[in-house]
Structure 1
């Protein structure tokens, strides 16, 4: 079943149009990658879906409903999470505090979900009381992914998750991404390198 259907998306920043009639389809549990050079508009696609950039025209259909122009908080409640490329953790907060922020709209079960994520990302459990500023780039990326997963989204969007990481950490992080997809979460990712 189609989870996300972006139809003829036109978007940009202020008066600057960046995207022209972009179309993307993501099925439930699917892994979709958008690959392109720096400046091609990949991040703008993600930000537009997540309600962070100006939607000029086209439709963003999620689970059969048009979410074009919805506020980001409403998009999160529908089951979409986003990990930006830069500044994707709160450096002065601990790993645990970062995860707690990821569940800020949860009514209950947040602690149980955080424990599940510590089981999924065991290295984070051993560092749960460390400030994220003390972690490696790869570990910070894991924190960002785990925080995005606290709400158990149906769609996880990752903006260049390998940017700035050593090759061994890229491999490790993509193993986590594969585990996330295997658990049923659809992945929409943008990268410069395939």
Structure 2
């Protein structure tokens, strides 16, 4: 039986710490992807934007016929960012929830891997219309219920009902209390 420990959450918290700082200055959504997280010696974590430049990750981006020159990471985007072009720290929280899910699956699968990009967009349409038919990402095997509940809070339809980064930060700090990646 696998006993869950919190090093992955601690790493995510370290990755997320710069996010809290950046979210106070300007909105962004693409830097949350795990491919943009660099881990160096001493567990120094940096967030970059180089991942979207590589054709290796072309499958993570969708282009629509209406904007063929603007590839979008639809699997990580909130409904309001995709359909309304409304980017905010709360739409970033949605992306963070997807990234946290991805980290706890050890990035072995793409979010909604069995769905085409068009099906992911249709799924987001259910969030937009609030018709109760949205399919959430499943709880990862290595994920405690309270962490999955946090993810689900990140994917709430109404932005105001989602946690803010400060709340997420405090929650994850409490989960990691006493854990040190140097130990």
Output the TM-score relative to the length of structure 2. Answer: 0.32
Structure ranking higher in helix proportion? 2
Q: Which has the higher strand share?
A: 1
TM-score by length of 1: 0.31
